[in-house]
Homo-oligomer: A and B are copies of this chain.
Amino acid sequence: MDAALKHLERNHDRFLNLLLDYLKIPSISAQRKHDADSRRAAEFIRARLDEAGFETGFFEGKGLPTVHGARLVDTKKPTLVVYGHYDVQPPDPLDLWESPPFEPVIEDGEIRARGCADDKGPSLALVLAAACWGKDLPMNLRFVIEGEEESGGTVVYDYLKVHRRDLADAKAVAIADAPGIARGVPALCYGLRGIAAVEVTVKGPARDLHSGTYGGSVANPATALARLLATLHDAKGCVAVQGFHEGARPIDDVERKRLSKLPFDERAFLADTGSPALVGEEGFTTWERRTARPTVEINGIFGGYEGEGSKTIIPSRATAKLTCRLVPGQDPKRVQDAVARHLESHAPKGVRLEIARGHTAPAAYMDPETPWAKAARAALERAYGCPAALTREGGSIPVVSAFREAGLEPLLLGTYAPGEKAHSPNERYHVEDFLACIRAGIHFFGAPPA
């Protein structure tokens, strides 16, 4: 361990320069004109894996390659998969950047460049952590670094299917593609919400009707839809759909207490949304509402006239697109059924409903007390000098589900400060967090669970 940490100290500047070189490559996976750049980024990270003694390769599919590398030191020792991505978000709008997005600079201890925090910094850090161990690496490592995370590509999923057997020796996957909970405080995220989409169309007259001639004598589908949607929540902001909460695992007192102690900056969060206030289900904190409580959200609503001025019609139809966010224990298909039943049974008179079920994904709960999770937390604590916060997140991360399906325990590591503007102009990454993430890797790779 000491030798590895010393290696880091001696190579400090070299590692930082490597990151700056990596950040100069505009590997924007969403843009075909940058495909050659993206491949250069793939070659770059593959070269670092080569230098660290990995057997590397490209998995090619429909799109940009997934880089893989294996270093198997002893089949009797445990094996960890490390996931990351070498592609970045488009930098637009360019005029909001204070320095060019692909000309990295270091100022006030921060690196400024597209992709520094998401995810070139953290994923390179873990490759370099392996390099620090040299020939003494105490466990087996397999890196999977894809190139289409930011553009919704599927090459990595094909890789997981095709190479499922190769990964059979591994029990866990470290995913260092998330923020921590506060400046200098890393996190292990153990919960993600699932999703269930439902679309409802309220149909009334066969055509748009003149609201003067007919108004008052037939049901207005937009009014009917509004009245219907108003029944989805009760006065306390709780979802009021019978059967919706079936199976949902409650947040127990221990967890609530822990979540309440997270150093969560609610004022900064509110400012980030731009909403007039934070509101939600009565009896829950903001963090619980956005990560650990199920929701029904209207993603879109439309019907009738949208142009300038007014058009005096009763629209023939009105539609709402809904998605439910689900917590562990809820069955997405049963939630869709419950919502559909609720809508049907609350439909106002004089209209017909059309209900379409959309995509679903279950919530994920990853026990933070397993040997692998404890090992990851211990490594983060040693590297950052404070315990890793245990958190949940409100969204779904498709690659987490894919790894779970491949039989691996996902370890979702939050290694940089929140507010680093991933996906926004002026993305930044604290140099300290880069070094801490390398240290975290050194500690993690050096102390696998027994």
Let me know if B300 and A206 touch, CB within 8 A.
no
Is the beta-carbon distance between B223 and A298 smaller than 8 angstroms? Answer: yes
CA distance A151 to B314 in the complex (A): 21
Q: Are B273 and A325 in contact (CB under 8 A)?
A: no
Which of A71-79, A85-93, A100-108, A277-285 contacts the other chain?
A: A277-285
* Interfacial chain B residues near A228, Cβ < 8 Å: 226
Minimum CB distance partner of A325 in chain B:
B215
For residue A414, give the distance in angstroms from its CB to the closest CB of chain B.
Answer: 13
Within 8 A of B (CB), among A294-344: 295, 297-306, 309-316, 318-321, 323, 325
Q: Is A216 interfacial (CB 8 A cutoff)?
A: yes
Chain B residues closer than 8 Å to A320, beta-carbon distance: 222, 226
Q: Which residues of B contact A275 (CB under 8 A)?
A: 204-206, 218-219, 350-351
Among B233, B278, B301, the residue within 8 A (CB) of A218 is B278
Taking CB atoms and an 8 Å cut-off, the chain A residues in 379-412 that contact chain B are 393-396
Q: Are B300 and A305 in contact (CB under 8 A)?
A: yes
Contacting pair B325 A321 (CB below 8 A):
no
A298–B216 contact, CB under 8 A?
no
A225 part of interface (Cβ distance < 8 Å): yes
- The quantity of this chain's copies bound in the complex is 2
**Is B304 a contact partner of A213 (Cβ separation < 8 A)?**
no
Q: Is A193 an interface residue (CB 8 A)?
A: yes
Closest-CB distance, A126 to chain B (whole angstroms): 24
Please tell me if the beta carbons of A300 and B303 are within 8 angstroms of each other in the complex.
Answer: yes
Closest to A304 in B: B300
Cα(A193)–Cα(B215), bound, Å: 10
A421 at interface by CB-CB < 8 Å = no
Query: How many Å lie between the Cα of A280 and that of B348 in the bound state?
Result: 11
- Bound: A204/B193 CA distance, A: 23
Complex CA gap A212/B394 in Å reads 5
Flag if B300 contacts A217 (CB, 8 Å). no
**Neighbour of A301 across the interface among B215, B318, B352, CB < 8 A:** B318
Q: Smallest CB-CB separation from A287: which chain B residue?
A: B217
Q: How far is the CA of A350 from the CA of B270 in the complex (A)?
A: 11
A28 in the interface (beta carbon within 8 A): no
- Is A40's CB within 8 Å of the partner chain B? no
* A299 engages B321 (CB within 8 Å): no
A274 proximal to B (CB < 8 A): yes
CA distance A280 to B219 in the complex (A): 7
Interface residues of A in 220-238 (CB under 8 A from B): 220, 222-223, 225-230, 232-233
- State how many angstroms separate the Cβ of A259 from the closest Cβ of chain B: 13
- Is the CB of A197 closer than 8 A to any CB of chain B? yes
A276's contact among B223, B304, B352, by CB below 8 Å, is which? B352
A contact set with B: CB distance below 8 Å: 193, 195, 197, 199, 204-207, 209-220, 222-223, 225-230, 232-233, 269, 273-281, 286, 289-290, 293, 295, 297-306, 309-316, 318-321, 323, 325, 348-352, 358-359, 393-396
Given contacts A216-B293, A217-B273, 11 further A-B contacts (CB under 8 A): A212-B393, A218-B279, A219-B275, A220-B297, A222-B301, A223-B232, A226-B226, A226-B227, A301-B315, A302-B306, A312-B323
Can you pick out 6 interface pairs between chain A and chain B where the beta carbons lie within 8 Å of each other? A207-B274, A220-B297, A226-B227, A226-B230, A302-B306, A310-B321
Pairs of residues from A and B, 5 with the lowest C-beta to C-beta distance, nearest first: A206-B274, A212-B395, A279-B350, A230-B230, A300-B305
